[in-house]
Amino acid sequence: MNTRFDSYRETTPGRANVGDSPDLLAYYGRLSELGAGALWTVANKIEPWQPVPHSAPMIWRYLDLREAVLRALKLVSPEEAGRRVIYLANPNRQDVAAAVGWLYSGLQVMAPGECASSHRHSASALRFIMEGSGAFTNVDGHKMTLGRNDFVLTPNGTWHEHGVAENGTNCIWQDGLDIPLVNALEAGFYEVHPDLRQAISYPIDESSSMWGSPGLRPAGADWQRRYSPLLKYEWEPTYEALCRYAAVYDGSPFDAIHMDYVNPATGGPVMTTMGASIQMLRPGERTRAHREVGNFVYQCAKGSGWSIINGQRYDWSERDIFVVPSWTYHEHGNSSQTEDTCLFSFHDLPAMRALGLYRQEALGENGGHQPIT
């Protein structure tokens, strides 16, 4: 047993600063027998001055990962595996299968004619389509066709199944889930659909037709659920929105031309725990460094660039995925002088905001910290 209890001592007034003594050690032993402990032995550890992320900043380069992901096509079937996914393992978060913070991410691969079984769970999920044609997903009977850089939701509690049409090609998409968070909260349920398949209950792509026109919503539509009625955000209008924004504004000094995917019924985030954003850096553009209470998984959707995360440079190009842990300074740059670059990201900001935990801070001009709100 570790008999040193004073290893977290701090001298700042207001912090725990109790040295060990034979009497105290005997006392801690007695407390331990009672299933109790003295707060001052752990207080400085469990109340850090600021967030201490356990996750490492990481990059997964598609050039390396793609071939390994495609190999899974021959090694396991969707029937055997349930879902044929290669997950992104942060070395410091292996125990909870998180890519960063309490967020999971993986690359799912399916061949033409394959379909994974329908299921639902307490975790919320999203997908960003990386390559291939003919992919589809069916969410509670809303079947959607999926193309490159489309962003699609499978909110918690919805039945969902994915597949690729017979006349399609091998498809790879990024999955993002809050499953580590839901598990940390000990709130997760999982069910396989009794028929393994679900019916198509609406016209194909009906949610886009109904809710996907910018600035317009169906008059009188009553949407009471806690997730977006728009389930698919297509790339063409998304990219067009970025270009139109970039034509009239400089954008954020920290995130350039930055837009959130939103629930068109509320203007709020697409789901309760996870949100998603898209940002554009114009040719040669470089952002200022800031940090936020929140965890981010980025995928380069177009072009190439670099990010400096906690002082280290990570170069990325199309389809590379990288993560920025909570309260970690980061800045992004476009490495091209002629082409724009776009970063898709998903994050836990809706959870942070709902819990009143969100903050951000800019890196000051002379290395100091300059709070911003």
Alpha-carbon distance 188 to 8, whole Å? 34
Q: Please, which of residues 75-94 interact with ligand 1HN by CB under 6 A?
A: 83, 85
Smallest distance from ligand 1HN to CB 194, Å: 17
Residues β-bridged to residue 347 = 275, 296
Q: Which range touches ligand 1HN (CB under 6 A), out of 18-26, 27-35, 173-181, 299-307?
A: 173-181
Residues β-bridged to residue 257 = 280
Q: What would the x/- binding string for ligand 1HN be over residues 131 to 170, using CB under 6 A?
A: -----------------------------x-x--------
As to burial, measured by CB atoms within 10 angstroms (0-12 exposed, 13-18 middle, 19+ buried), residue 284 is exposed
- Pick 69 or 179: Cβ nearer ligand 1HN: 179
Q: Which range touches ligand 1HN (CB under 6 A), out of 32-40, 69-77, 100-108, 363-371?
A: 100-108
Smallest distance from ligand 1HN to CB 83, Å: 4
Give the three-class secondary structure for 175.
strand
Q: Which phi and psi angles does 258 have, rounded to 5°?
A: -130, 120
Smallest distance from ligand 1HN to CB 87, Å: 7
Q: Can you list the positions of beta strands (E) in 266-320? A: 275-281, 290-292, 296-302, 304-309, 312-317
Q: How many Cβ atoms from other residues are within 10 Å of residue 169's Cβ?
A: 13
Total binding residues for ligand 1HN by CB under 6 A? 13
- Pick 78 or 251: Cβ nearer ligand 1HN: 78
Q: Which range touches ligand 1HN (CB under 6 A), out of 3-11, 102-110, 266-274, 347-355?
A: 102-110
Residue 108 in contact with ligand 1HN, rule: CB under 6 A: yes
- Pick 106 or 325: Cβ nearer ligand 1HN: 106
- Pick 99 or 309: Cβ nearer ligand 1HN: 99
Q: Which range touches ligand 1HN (CB under 6 A), out of 6-14, 101-109, 243-251, 305-313?
A: 101-109
Pairing of strands 360-363, 290-292: antiparallel
DSSP type of residue 82: S
Alpha-carbon distance 103 to 178, whole Å? 5
Smallest distance from ligand 1HN to CB 226, Å: 19
Residue 179 in contact with ligand 1HN, rule: CB under 6 A: yes
Using the rule CB under 6 A, which residue among 100, 177, 256, 265 binds ligand 1HN?
177
Which amino acid is present at 36? A
Alpha-carbon distance 238 to 259, whole Å? 9
**Please, where are the H alpha helices in 15-61?**
22-33, 43-46
Query: Dihedral, CA atoms, 60, 110, 263, 192, nearest 10 degrees?
Result: -110
Whether the CB-CB separation of 137 and 127 falls below 8 Å is answered with yes
Using the rule CB under 6 A, which residue among 114, 150, 175, 205 binds ligand 1HN?
175
Nearest to 324 by CA among 354, 345, 350, 355: 345
**Pair of tokens at residue 15:** 């912090």
Using the rule CB under 6 A, which residue among 57, 106, 163, 269 binds ligand 1HN?
106
**Pair of tokens at residue 45:** 């550890």
Smallest distance from ligand 1HN to CB 161, Å: 8
**Pair of tokens at residue 144:** 């959607």
Smallest distance from ligand 1HN to CB 82, Å: 8
Q: Which range touches ligand 1HN (CB under 6 A), out of 174-182, 201-209, 258-266, 336-344?
A: 174-182
Binding site for ligand 1HN (CB under 6 A): 83, 85, 104, 106, 108, 121, 123, 125, 160, 162, 175, 177, 179
